[in-house]
Structure 1
């Protein structure tokens, strides 16, 4: 069923779903969701990418009999456990928020979205099980079998992320249901889970996760190198995650371009906002760098002729559909969407150039890990990757507005009709996330301090004591 057919049925059977008035609860619900998702998604990146890095480091330690690599794998696993525990809390909060903040969405489409969320929950529990086995398996499971315990963690992390991204992709390209007399019927859960947009969007996020985790972990060791800790421990700790981040940073522009193909047909308003196209031009559209729309006019933008059409449409003559083709009530916040999109692109390109420079200079026989300016930039790689990640999500989510399910349900119709409780929830969540952030920093810094002091193995409060301690 096409979007236009769905809209026609909704207009006849459920006019309230297309209402344009903003409920009082919309602002706190949006703020709450932005806070929760923006905070949780950073941890999710480590859940997706960290296991693969641990596996490579552990495998290297076994195959090359490298004690430094084995020690790094063991330490990274403990850090991963801390981040996983915090992510479990924020993920639980999010699971409640979907129904609490958006009862209109879950009430109408709960049957549609149930299967992906169920699989995501199963993947999460499996990842937790194998993380526990891996953590307490050091010295208790044969090495070649022990390292294999990381693989299910990596696989379940990818599966769980795919399920969540499939839901978000469905919100952009709804499918797998019909609306009859205002009711959602003929639900096809597998069509939702494997919708046409899910693989490209999950691939884009998968690479972003490796960029965030890879640059962040490498940045920690870059700071250590800057402080004079130039041993093999810090160099290897930098190189492995930086290599993962390199592959992701180089592949990301191509996957992002594939994701954007056909956007002029799926979500023309979002594309117009991305490109800051206030009108449909005669012939090719320029690429606009920067700028804002004020009173319907673009101001302060740098226009590069033809490039906008070449990138967005794959044509040197076909224009980008402008906002003049979109009803005002169906347009997203244009300036915010445009700047978020360009921030994502700009930061991503900067990181891509940085990794190319590093490996080129290494190929020429010069190690930039001896260059303090490069180390300073590498230390900022993690925050820059997080900025690109958050900007990308702002672009795709704000750019879809005013729809929560594109072309089918407006965000105003998904939110509840209560307000006071939502503001209290937002305040409580802010305190909770702030406390978890402070707690995570304190715990991780304490672990790092004890490792630097020579502590070979930090005690686990709920695990069996080491054999030598039992003998004493």
Structure 2
């Protein structure tokens, strides 16, 4: 029930709190994905450099490692902001359910420290350790990054499918943190997120070199800089499409209201078509392309399966349908476009062991990083906005969890300024790193690049 204090806090402060959280999560998730995917791609480059003796791989690895250090630092800042926001903005959630979902946050903290320690070793011991030993120091970075993503997403999965506790007299009892962390939503959601991280990292890294190649830099260094991360992302993409279908089927079974919003279904029925495009006007999806039987078949594997419509739930329990519907459309559209790019690369490589020679391929690759980020953000909009008005699905409303103190809008303004400064500083530093040339060395020490890279 909404208390008088919480009613007084809504709607302006509730909207400010939700917008601030959306900004923080939307910003942090991009950096976090790069932090999960970049270390693995960097290690592959370093391993290939040692295995083949190709100095271009080693030069790429060293440059990517420097970028990893910058992104880890800014990710630590944005992650710290998020940790404070969870308590400051949502005391109703953390105060009631903190003991239920505290375990994954604690484990994420351990993974973060492991990642920080080994990242320091990896960055500063490059010329102080044997090549194989240095390569091995990067392995914990990869494992800790993936573990961090897993632990954090399990907490969000719990908010989608709360388990591991019982309610008695308005109190939380019989808490089982492990059952809460490994709830039914955990497998599809964590898998979907981790694969998305590798897609974002791979396509984003490749897009930088695609732009350089469009500007005429067609040397081996830039070709490998495009090919290696793009190959990783291309391999992950079709797997992600399959996992996305798994996640959608989970939503169909456990969050039918979210599914109805994703597809703009207002009336319960059988043999429901799949909708492409369209906009909701007056509780009706208009101007959409309908694929007969598509939604029933994809959601339940049966073309005659029943799909629940939004007309079965009170209007107050419905999410904003246009936002969720278009978030889903954008995510799927970008995912299919990236799948097409992956297929293009795979076909060209199978035919002649080379990149496609068309400039349109380079243009598409240059846009792939943006498309991957857009798909990521749209997917999280579907996940989070589609759960509304619940912060804990079916258990606690978002309005009941918000901080009742007035003036939350000023916190949003302050955080917006912080993220604007952080964005500008991050872009500036990364651009400087990209422009810096390796330090030339004496002629007798030069390799085929003309620069010392080890």
Q: TM-score range by the shorter chain?
A: over 0.9
* Counterpart residue number, 1:59: 47
* Counterpart residue number, 1:358: 345
Q: Which residue, out of 310, 317, 334, partners 1:330? A: 317
Matched ranges for 1:27-426 at <5 A: 27-281=15-269, 283-365=270-352, 367-420=354-407, 422-426=408-412
Bigger shift: 426-435 or 101-110? Answer: 426-435
For the residue of structure 2 that corresponds to 1:187, the secondary structure is coil
TM-score calculated relative to the size of structure 2? 0.94
Task: Tell me the CA shift for residue 263 of structure 1.
Answer: 2.4
Contact 1:275 1:288 in 2 (8 A): yes
- Change in CA separation of 1:456 and 1:28 when aligned onto 2, cut-off 3 Å: farther
Q: Separation in 2 of the partners of 1:438 and 1:64?
A: 38
For the residue of structure 1 that corresponds to 2:391, the secondary structure is strand
* Counterpart residue number, 1:463: none
* Counterpart residue number, 2:444: none
For the residue of structure 2 that corresponds to 1:230, the secondary structure is coil
Task: Tell me the CA shift for residue 441 of structure 1.
Answer: 1.4
Q: Separation in 2 of the partners of 1:86 and 1:79?
A: 11
Contact 1:23 1:415 in 2 (8 A): no
- Change in CA separation of 1:232 and 1:217 when aligned onto 2, cut-off 3 Å: same
Q: Separation in 2 of the partners of 1:156 and 1:138?
A: 20
Aligned residue pair count: 440
Contact 1:24 1:417 in 2 (8 A): no
User: What is the root-mean-square deviation in Å for CA atoms of aligned residues?
Assistant: 1.8
Q: Which runs of 5+ in 1 are unaligned?
A: 1-13, 458-467
Q: Which residue, out of 430, 441, 454, partners 2:416? A: 430
* Counterpart residue number, 1:455: 439
Task: Tell me the CA shift for residue 385 of structure 1.
Answer: 0.5
Residue by residue over 1:277-310, the C-alpha shift from the partner in whole angstroms, topping out at 9 and shown as x without a partner, is: 11012x3000111112221222111111111111
Contact 1:28 1:419 in 2 (8 A): no
Residue by residue over 1:351-406, the C-alpha shift from the partner in whole angstroms, topping out at 9 and shown as x without a partner, is: 10111012112322284453212111111110110000000000110000000000
Contact 1:45 1:213 in 2 (8 A): yes
Whether 1:439 aligns to 2:425 is: yes
Bigger shift: 362-371 or 143-152? Answer: 362-371
For the residue of structure 2 that corresponds to 1:261, the secondary structure is helix
Q: Which runs of 5+ in 2 are unaligned?
A: 442-451
Q: Separation in 2 of the partners of 1:20 and 1:30?
A: 15
Q: Separation in 1 of the partners of 2:13 and 2:166?
A: 28
Bigger shift: 344-353 or 252-261? Answer: 252-261
Q: Separation in 2 of the partners of 1:265 and 1:63?
A: 48
TM-score calculated relative to the size of structure 1? 0.90
Task: Tell me the CA shift for residue 15 of structure 1.
Answer: 7.2
